[in-house]
Amino acid sequence: MPDFYPLARQLLWRVQPETAHKIALWTLRAGLGFLASGERMGTVDHPALAQSLWGLNFRNPVGIAAGFDKDALAFDALLRFGFGAVEVGTVTPRQQSGNLKPRLFRLDQDKAIINRMGFPSAGLDTVLKRIARHKRSNGILGINLGKNLSSKDAAADYIEGIRLTAGLADYLVINISSPNTPGLRELQRREPLRLLMKELIDTRDRVSSNTPLLIKIAPDLSNQESYEVADVALDLGIDGIVISNTTVERPTSLKSPEAEEQGGLSGPQLFETSTVLLSEIYRLTSGRIPLIGVGGISSAEDAYTKIRAGASLVQVHSSLIFNGLSLVAKIKAGILRLLSKDGFSRITDAIGVDHIDSISNGFRRQGVAVAPHFSNTGSGLEYIHGAQDKDCSDHRWRQGIQSGLRQGLSAHRDGRTAGREVG
């Protein structure tokens, strides 16, 4: 079937971005999404893409990030288009309108998006009625939870969200990283995060001990803040980390006039920052906590780079706006080619594998002659040999990884330019 999205995009670009997005969601909800995708619904995925996480069977690693379907209007339709999981939200306990419009901007020259939505939400009551119809056999559904802007008690809002959704969602994500809700990112610091998540985990355990509880973090964390997040996650047993939300930074490479707008930036410019952070969190947690890689994915090579850096799953969002739903099938097919090229028989073989190569190469560039040997065991990077080299400082360890990873990302950018594996 031909892909009509390029034509549909011309029509959608004639209206405001937020209006266009609503039109797209209602089109999907009405069952007409195939007209703008060129893809067959219900295609069976290759078994090499499947994996089990948190007791859930993901048929492939490609999901759709929160923010695309905030109010659960089209999640079942999206699952039928081949996503391994759909994450709806961010949902707040009570209905709220969010920030003043305009608040969503397309950066056409940069293929990027800036939003300052401020958690506009239909509220939990409305969303719950919609997801109550969901059949878990259709695919995996995650719910991203937020706090109301007027709330004085963030924990109370998240507790209400968990209490009401834990029995309906396959997994839950606590959004503590949106740049558009004042004070929210402060919850990522060690003590606020520890206090909040201990209370939320206790709540989850009381209402549904089997529902995985994840957090979503910002890409703009310092090394110290990254360490604090990883430390709390390991100490409390947080089930997973979504990396990352949008960035408040503005790269000098941006060309679109809308680049000056306030809000969170998403798109290709977020790829390197979010991937380096993902790799750092994977290192800090020794690969023991499943990570979902988000930010700047617009091709199979992008997705695979995040997987090799430590992501068990990946999510797309902004690239769908510019490329359409046919991108999903291209990413999945491309991942299969890349797995085969690297000699891997399944997706789990590739998760975090760059940490082996990056540590060896990075240490050489840091002037360290030894190269520790590791095994990617599935439960984390396990030290096998070279125990005599464990006195290398954590600082040099980090620099070794980051040096190797940045070289890999540089090669990845060159590959993008050359058009390899582009979806």
Which residues have a catalytic role annotated?
Answer: 178
What tokens appear for 327 in the block?
Answer: 């991108």
What tokens appear for 147 in the block?
Answer: 């706090």
Identify the CA nearest to 307 among candidates 45, 59, 61, 60: 61
The span from the CA of 221 to the CA of 274, in Å, is: 10
What tokens appear for 414 in the block?
Answer: 């060159």
What tokens appear for 116 in the block?
Answer: 């300052």
SS3 assignment, position 262 = coil
The span from the CA of 114 to the CA of 350, in Å, is: 32
Helix (H) or strand (E) holding 141: strand 140-145
What tokens appear for 269 in the block?
Answer: 């410019």
330's CB contacts (< 8 A; 6+ apart) are 299, 300, 423
What tokens appear for 286 in the block?
Answer: 């020794």
Instruction: Report whether the peptide linkage leading into residue 102 is cis, meaning its omega lies within 30 degrees of zero.
Output: yes
